[in-house]
Amino acid sequence: KAGVTQTPRYLIKTRGQQVTLSCSPISGHRSVSWYQQTPGQGLQFLFEYFSETQRNKGNFPGRFSGRQFSNSRSEMNVSTLELGDSALYLCASSPGTGGYSPLHFGNGTRLTVT
Amino acid sequence: QKEVEQDPGPLSVPEGAIVSLNCTYSNSAFQYFMWYRQYSRKGPELLMYTYSSGNKEDGRFTAQVDKSSKYISLFIRDSQPSDSATYLCAMPPTTSGSRLTFGEGTQLTVNP
């Protein structure tokens, strides 16, 4: 079974630009979660989608948004990029929602904002 | 104060050493504890999980939970260079509206 696929692997953007990251979950998984990973802060939860609906949201500004398509693929968008948005963005899928459903992570998209 | 605290290290040990990785947490409602392992340039992968206090063993790995002290540990016996990675503890939410809460992760290097 193919794992979670994230594209692109690396991105370099300029302050003020916007960016869209893509995630394809494991086949059959309906939940997709997004995390931001930075040194010093670790993994911070962004949001979770299940069956095209946002189920949970972390404490991030409205510049961070996401969506999920009918095939469970998900995209995450960050508008008006700031230097502090430089991070590894990880997508994880799971069969169901809820904290006890284990997460299967992709290898992430490394975003650098200059 | 963060809900889950983990010393980021780095921790460097010789091959064959016993490694102890630890997390403390503040929310006594946490009932389920996970350890993820993240290799360089990869996403985290679930290593072990445990529901209750006490020990759970899986090969060279032992997960230990002490709920009275709000302290969890991961022990690695006979550590190998292939164990070099970042280890993250994680706990599910106790209320709706979130997902797993992760520790910052401890970077481990096992030297041959």
- Kindly report, residue by residue over B59-76, the tens digit of the pLDDT: 999 999 998 899 999 999
* A12 has pLDDT over 80: yes
What average pLDDT does the segment A48-64 reach?
92
What average pLDDT does the segment B75-91 reach?
97
What average pLDDT does the segment A61-86 reach?
97
For chain B, percent helix, then strand, then coil, each to nearest 5? 5, 50, 45
Instruction: Nearest chain A residue to B32 by CA: give it.
Output: A100
- B44, A45: Cβ pair inside 8 Å? no
For residue A76, what are its two tokens?
Answer: 């995450």
Q: How confident is the model at residue B97 (pLDDT cuts 50, 70, 90)?
A: low
Phi/psi of residue B27, each to 5°?
-90, 110
What average pLDDT does the segment B2-26 reach?
93
Strand A19-24 to A5-7 pairing: antiparallel
Rg of chain A taking only CA atoms, in angstroms: 13
Number of C-beta neighbours around residue B101 at 10 A:
22
For residue B42, give how far its alpha carbon lies from the nearest alpha carbon of chain A (Å). 5
Sheet holding A64-68, edge to edge: A5-7, A19-24, A74-78, A64-68
* A24 has pLDDT over 70: yes
* A99 has pLDDT over 70: no
Strand A19-24 to A74-78 pairing: antiparallel
Q: How confident is the model at residue B96 (pLDDT cuts 50, 70, 90)?
A: low
Least Cα distance to B79 among B50, B37, B104, B112 occurs for B112
Query: What is the spatial distance between Cα B106 and Cα B9, in angstroms, rounded to a whole number?
Result: 5
Query: What is the spatial distance between Cα A30 and Cα A95, in angstroms, rounded to a whole number?
Result: 6
What average pLDDT does the segment B87-93 reach?
90
B13: amino acid identity, one letter: V
Query: Are A88 and A38 a contacting pair, CB within 8 Å?
Result: yes
* B56 has pLDDT over 70: yes
Quick check: A94 contacting B, CB < 8 Å?
no
Quick check: B23 contacting A, CB < 8 Å?
no
